[in-house]
Chain A
Amino acid sequence: MSLPSPRPAPQQPPRDLPRLMTTPPILAMTGISRRFGDVVALQDVSATVYPGEVLGIVGESGSGKSTLLRMMNLEDSPDSGDYRLAIPGAAGNLFDLDRYRRRMLCARHVGIVYQNPHLGLLMGHSSSGNVAERLLIAGERRFAVLGGRAREALDASEFPLERIDARPIELSGGMQQRVQLAKAIALEPALLLLDEPTTGLDVSVQALVLDTLKRLQRDRAITMVLVSHDLGVIRTMADRVMVMRRGRVVEEGLADQIFQDPQHPYTQALVHAKL
């Protein structure tokens, strides 16, 4: 895709603060900046997610979208910035927590699905064992409960239950993503983070995984943050969209507005480059 020549960013029409939405956001990030050496990964990024909605983050490789998602999962800390989640036991700026508390908080309340299943799964353990591990970390010790809930989560992710003992390494890419998804939703997280969950899958498999996500979103009203470079995926899933480029948010809006009336030259180029 050819990038538009740099022009001054057009002014976004001003928007009011929410008035009708009285439920506080479940996720609020403000002023996140992060450098890796000389590279600016994130520059003053803010994001807000309300309960039950799907926020899509779109941008090309290196835009900072995955870095931002990792921060939401507390895997990395910014140089500056504030992160709050409206969940029990999460008071103050979550970047102030130590590693142990971060891990416990995310294991209990935040689910994540990575593009690369090796990041999210133990490839040599059974699929049900992978899901049960998440429950174990959260403190569940009863064997029958572990098995039952792992099965339930795999079923909700539309994983074929006859393959529950198969190791992820023996499974297709689409099935591996379903195991990751089952692990992510097993504890009914307040927030589900999806990092390019269907990238690299065959188109037909991709459609099935997205369909499962849609179904979960509809039936359980799970709040999701979905990162993808694929506009089709974002369009299918997201209620609101944030467009990132070079570590900054260049545009934010309702999904249909971003696709039908993009304001920023970069967003226009992205939307027009879509097949």
Chain B
Amino acid sequence: MTLQTPLPAAPPRAAPPCAASGAPAPALPVIEVEGLAKHFQMHHLGQRLDAFAGIGFTLMPGQFLLLTGPNGAGKSTLLRTLYRSYLPQAGHVWLNTAEGRIDLARAADVDVALLRRREIGFVTQFLIARPRVAAEDLVAEPLRLAGAAAPEALETARAALAEFGVKRELWAAYPSTFSGGEQQKVNLARALILPQRLLLLDEPTASLDAGARAALLRRLAALKAQGVAMIGVFHHPGDVAGLIDAELNLDSRETRDVAQ
């Protein structure tokens, strides 16, 4: 099956914003996807579920790609395939990392695990709370793993919690007991604390209150200005209208079948 996947017109930015801070950054794409295909083989049913095929696009530093399409079109599936929670059947996901170009479609598991700590972030609306870990420690953890000293990491984490509107009394408490909304704020603070090269966003605005949504947009805009490339699925794309550089429409096979 082939999908119409219009290559988003990547505006050729001469200098990505991140280049301003240091040496003239060579304008390498962050990610180059070629001919990516995913299906699920369901052995107990003897069935194959096609998700997408022939996906290709290129994303430069600081660019924001919006994935669109009806429910079931494969938007979240594509995000998870890029993150390698799903294994693709064909194609390439070239990531230009600090250590060179690597194909996420077939990179070794340990390499993918490393890249998830250093270069690729995934933001969902769900917090994976862990028993007896304080909200501020949970938020500080990505910084600690990246080598930040404990006091600095904690200070940054607290600032992020404040930014997302988590009440100060809750910072040292365990998020497993928080309400859904508060957990989501902790989750966003954690997921966005470390500027990574590529950020995958799976409906992070769903069920956020207005204050937290505004904080999320401020943070995404700041990361974009630092050169973070983003690929996102948003139930209400209007939330991020000002950030979008390109769109990729994943037409669903079901809708096409109905149309015929």
Contacts and interface: CB of A to CB of B under 8 A. Distances in A.
Given A15-B109, A207-B131, A269-B44, A20 B89 contact: no
19 contacts: A10-B41, A13-B87, A13-B106, A15-B108, A16-B103, A18-B108, A19-B107, A19-B111, A20-B99, A20-B114, A21-B108, A21-B110, A21-B114, A240-B113, A254-B113, A260-B80, A261-B85, A261-B86, A268-B43
Interface string A20-51: 11000000000000000000000000000010
Contacts of A7: 43
User: How many residues of A sit at the interface, in one of the four size bands?
Assistant: 20 to 34
Given A254-B113, A265-B43, A16 B85 contact: no
A20 to B, nearest CB: 4
A196 interface: no
A21 to B, nearest CB: 4
Contacts of A96: none
B108 A17 contact: yes
A34 B17 CA distance: 58
B85 A19 contact: no
B259 interface: no
A32 B109 CA distance: 21
A261 B39 CA distance: 10
A252 interface: yes
B84 A257 contact: yes
A147 interface: no
A257 B102 CA distance: 19
B94 to A, nearest CB: 13
Contacts of A268: 42-44
A239 interface: yes
A260 B97 contact: no
A30 B205 CA distance: 47
Given A20-B114, A253-B87, A4 B44 contact: yes
Contacts of A20: 97, 99, 102, 107, 110-111, 114-115
A215 B134 CA distance: 12
A260 B85 contact: yes
